[in-house]
Structure 1
């Protein structure tokens, strides 16, 4: 099984990047073994979803790494198999790192996790992506599709 999970707050401008990419990916048909879901700000729900034995998890989110707005990153996460520190159970405040560290606390283990992120220009209150980040949505959707298709090829299935 493969999970593609979009994260972000649609009321905080570019923080809605993950949500926007998932909306684009939802227009495609996906095989039964691929789940494409918008988790928005429901990090707790995502943590519980990750208790399922996924062979690949692709998280799509706004990611601040210091690049120009609209820069798309693909980063393989290296989740710690040991339970992380206590995390806030505030569903509105769980970023990807906190979600991934919560999974072992809940008794789960993670397979391969890849983050497809985009450098935001503005994550303040507002609806709608800035132009640079909006332009990156299609690029990210193609990258996610390539990651999912590539995973199936490596396993010898199509």
Structure 2
């Protein structure tokens, strides 16, 4: 393990829009006693908070978020983010990852290698609480995030 590898785990989403609160629920269930160099934070819809925290020179970022329904609600997917050029513009109230990345660039920072652990949603209707298939995916997503963090800390391929 490389103790100098710093990993930020960021739960994102709006808990008032059903399954959009997936990322927040996953990080809430993660152990508060993570290993040194790993920070787990629920950013909710605080895109600028995440952007400012990314200026602290993290070695890697793990975003935990709800994903659009592609026919498999509750399916957990893991993939690398490919930040674009930020042409979407800076929006201090947006939590879309590209808006956060654009904010980091606008503030003079760089985007660390980023892995997304997400779950396909069933509903983002007004209301608090996850649908059954997305709620069932929280435990597997916690395990997936922990595995991704371990791989990043050991500088292994995710």
Q: Common fold, TM-score beyond 0.5? A: yes
> In the alignment, what sits opposite 1:54?
58
**Structure 1: gaps spanning 5 or more residues:** none
In structure 2, the gaps of 5 or more residues are 1-5
| Partner of residue 150, structure 1 | 151
Kindly indicate whether the alpha-carbon contact (under 8 Å) linking 2:88 and 2:98 is maintained by their aligned counterparts in 1.
no
Q: Corresponding residue for 1:84? A: 87
Cross-structure match for 2:20? 15
Moved over 3 A (4+): 82-85
Tell me the matched-pair count: 151
CA RMSD of aligned residues (A): 1.5
Partner SS state of residue 9, structure 1: coil
Alignment of 1:37-116 (within 5 A): 37-64=41-68, 66-80=70-84, 82-89=85-92, 91=93, 93-116=94-117
- Per the normalisation by structure 1, the TM-score is 0.89
Whether the 8 Å contact between 1:47 and 1:100 is mirrored in structure 2 is yes
